[in-house]
């Protein structure tokens, strides 16, 4: 944990005691997303940036309603495209804090391609994925994270595809901050969100957030019973240890909670800046636009 950088956290105090907006959340009673919203609010208060310097970008789904419930700038994009929009925004406005939110279907099904590239590019943003292992907004179909054999409206005889592990996917695709938390532990969620916001680079936080309406078997008590905090001697900077941990968790059917892995690498914007400088230096000796154009003919 001590290696997690304070990053670009601002020292200015927030202009109000909450970052939540005036719109009341419209989730089902008991939905884990209420806790996620409260924890993000507390994390932003500790983070300390003014509301106008923060933008929340979402896709489509229950969890993607987040921009409506926040008193920050927000962008409600199309299904599966939150990370694409968030990447463009961060490149255009590197000075602001960008947070992307979505569900496991939005992120790992139609949005899987964008998930892959955002992780490997190390975009400097925080992505909070609310994982309920079901499609909630569209009324209970199997999702990429649904357990093998799980009976849903779209798989009445059980799912026949192995589930996607969001933590494994983020680790192997290149995210430089990977953590897992759960909505039944709001203090832990707040801590993980704050560390993610402070990290410079792609921060991916998988949040176990039960859908009490369409996946009642995986409720608060289920996630509590199947979650384990990381060992005290766990080193999140050890990448191979992180991979072994996730493989162990899959084999023993538990959810590890905490910072799974963290490292520091140049961000996408920094790498683009390096290329720009190289290109400008190489073109400095050219005296005319026509000469530059001839290089490409």
The CATH number of residue 96's host domain is: 3.40.50.970
Alpha-carbon distance 189 to 89, whole Å? 25
The tokens describing 103, both together, are: 């569900």
Reported as a single tens digit per residue, the pLDDT across 270-279 is 998 888 777 7
Q: Do 190 and 241 belong to one domain?
A: yes
CA-nearest of 70, 63, 76, 69 to 33 is: 63
Reported as a single tens digit per residue, the pLDDT across 21-76 is 988 998 999 898 999 999 999 999 999 999 999 999 999 988 888 999 999 999 99
3-state secondary structure (DSSP) of residue 4: coil
Alpha-carbon distance 63 to 107, whole Å? 11
Q: Tokens 């969890």 belong to which residue?
A: 63
Alpha-carbon distance 279 to 54, whole Å? 32
Question: What is the pTM (predicted TM-score) of this model?
Answer: 0.87
40 lies in some domain: yes
11 lies in some domain: no
Q: Which residues pair with 128 in a beta bridge?
A: 101, 205
Res 294 pLDDT > 90: no
Considering only residues 210 and 178, tell me which one the structure prediction assigns the higher pLDDT.
178
Q: Do 291 and 180 belong to one domain?
A: no
14 lies in some domain: no
Residue 1 host element (H or E): none
4 lies in some domain: no
- The answer to whether residues 238 and 4 touch, using CB atoms and an 8 Å cutoff, is no
Q: Do 180 and 137 belong to one domain?
A: yes
Alpha-carbon distance 89 to 97, whole Å? 10
Q: Which residues pair with 97 in a beta bridge?
A: 54
The tokens describing 291, both together, are: 């000469």
- The answer to whether residues 82 and 102 touch, using CB atoms and an 8 Å cutoff, is yes
- The pLDDT-based confidence of 10 (bands split at 50, 70, 90) is very low
Res 264 pLDDT > 50: yes
Count of the separate structural domains present in the chain: 2
Q: Do 274 and 133 belong to one domain?
A: no
Considering only residues 217 and 114, tell me which one the structure prediction assigns the higher pLDDT.
114
Reported as a single tens digit per residue, the pLDDT across 213-256 is 888 888 889 999 999 999 999 999 999 999 999 999 999 999 99
Q: Which domain holds residue 278?
A: 266-297
119 lies in some domain: yes
142 lies in some domain: yes
The mean-pLDDT minimum among 40-49, 105-114, 136-145, 200-209 falls in 136-145
CA-nearest of 285, 267, 142, 282 to 200 is: 267
Res 281 pLDDT > 80: no
Q: Taking the CA atoms of the chain, what radius of gyration do you get in angstroms?
A: 20
Q: Do 115 and 129 belong to one domain?
A: yes
24 lies in some domain: no
227 lies in some domain: yes
pLDDT of residue 16: 56
Q: Do 271 and 190 belong to one domain?
A: no
């Amino acid at each position: 944990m001590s290696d997690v950088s304070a990053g670009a956290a601002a020292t200015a105090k927030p202009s109000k005691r909450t970052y939540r907006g005036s719109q009341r959340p419209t989730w089902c009673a008991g939905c884990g997303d209420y806790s996620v919203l409260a924890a993000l609010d507390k994390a932003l208060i500790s983070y300390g940036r003014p509301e106008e310097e923060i933008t929340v970008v979402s896709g489509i789904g229950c969890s993607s309603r987040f921009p409506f419930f926040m008193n920050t700038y927000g962008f409600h994009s199309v299904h599966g495209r939150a990370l694409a929009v968030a990447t463009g925004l961060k490149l255009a406005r590197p000075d602001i804090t960008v947070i992307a939110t979505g569900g496991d279907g939005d992120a790992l099904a139609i949005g899987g391609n964008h998930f892959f590239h955002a992780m490997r590019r190390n975009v400097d943003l925080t992505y909070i994925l609310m994982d309920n292992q079901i499609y909630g907004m569209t009324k209970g179909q199997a999702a990429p994270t649904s357990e093998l054999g799980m009976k849903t409206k779209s798989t009445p005889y059980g799912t026949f595809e192995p589930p996607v592990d969001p933590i494994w996917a983020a680790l192997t695709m290149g995210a430089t901050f990977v953590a897992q938390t759960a909505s039944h532990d709001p203090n832990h969620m707040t801590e993980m969100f704050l560390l993610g916001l402070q990290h410079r680079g792609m921060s991916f936080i998988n949040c176990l957030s039960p859908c009490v309406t369409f996946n009642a078997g995986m409720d608060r008590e289920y996630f509590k019973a199947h979650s384990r905090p990381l060992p005290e001697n766990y080193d999140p900077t050890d990448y191979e240890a992180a991979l072994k941990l996730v493989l162990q968790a899959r084999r023993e059917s538990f959810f590890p909670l905490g910072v799974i892995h963290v490292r520091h690498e140049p961000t996408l914007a920094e790498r683009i800046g390096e290329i720009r400088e190289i290109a400008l230096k190489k073109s400095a000796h050219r005296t005319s636009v026509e000469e530059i154009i001839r290089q490409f003919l």
